[in-house]
Amino acid sequence: MCYANSLESVTFDMKAVFVLMLAALVLSGCGGAGGGAAQPTSTPSTNPGAGFDVTVTESTRSVTLKAGQTLAAVLHARPGMTNWNGVRSSDESVLAPIVNPAASAARGVTLAAFKAIAPGKAQIDASAGPDCSPGQACPAYLMVLTIDVTVNAG
């Protein structure tokens, strides 16, 4: 005989719900390594020194500049990941890359510099992959960084 509302049925259903919740929690934790999880936001520095008006890092999500200001991107590699590479502006007519002659990065740090050219919106994009030893299997995933930049009239 089967009773849909019996104690055994309720116990089994609760165990199934618990297992599904635990699996979801574990899988959502894995998403952070691939860049799928939301990253913490931070306030960009407005006193970066070294001749730049603003400094952003890998935890910065957005920043606003005035035309003519300069921006330094200081990106720190995460443990187990390569250095950030391919750091670029999505619209060089708004945010153009510039050379920083004083730039000397420490191991695990990628430096990039930009100048706000004209009002508009652009993104700073970069990527990093897993840091694998030669001759060992390496997972195929990529971490992508995007920082939204708004440039207002100077």
- Does 43 share its domain with 110? yes
Mean pLDDT score of the chain, rounded to an integer? 77
CATH number at residue 58: 2.60.40.2020
Burial class of residue 101 (count of CB atoms within 10 Å of its CB; 0-12, 13-18, 19+): exposed
Q: Tell me if 52 sits within 8 A of 70, measured CB to CB.
A: yes
- Does 94 share its domain with 57? yes
Domain of residue 19 covers 1-34
- Alpha-carbon distance 77 to 9, whole Å? 50
Q: Could you tell me which of 81, 82, 75 has the C-alpha nearest to residue 60?
A: 75
Give this prediction's pTM.
Answer: 0.66
- Does 84 share its domain with 115? yes
- Does 129 share its domain with 97? yes
Single-letter residue type at 37: A
- Does 99 share its domain with 30? no
- Does 15 share its domain with 30? yes
- Alpha-carbon distance 83 to 78, whole Å? 8
- Does 85 share its domain with 21? no
- Alpha-carbon distance 123 to 92, whole Å? 10
Place of tokens 């440039």: 151
Q: How many domains does the chain have?
A: 2
Residue 17's pLDDT band (cuts 50, 70, 90)? very low
- Does 115 share its domain with 64? yes
Q: Write down the pLDDT at residue 75.
A: 94
Count Cα neighbours of 59 within 13 Å in the Cβ-side half-sphere: 8
Terminal alpha carbon distance of the chain: 79
Q: Write down the pLDDT at residue 14.
A: 47
Taking 3-state DSSP, the helix, strand and coil percentages for the chain, each rounded to the nearest 5, stand at: 20, 35, 45
- Does 1 share its domain with 51? no
- Alpha-carbon distance 126 to 141, whole Å? 14
- Alpha-carbon distance 56 to 11, whole Å? 51
Q: Write down the pLDDT at residue 103.
A: 65
- Does 74 share its domain with 145? yes
Q: What is the pLDDT of residues 113-149, one digit of tens each?
A: 999 999 999 999 999 999 998 888 989 899 999 999 9
- Does 60 share its domain with 25? no
- Does 71 share its domain with 128? yes
Q: Write down the pLDDT at residue 78.
A: 93
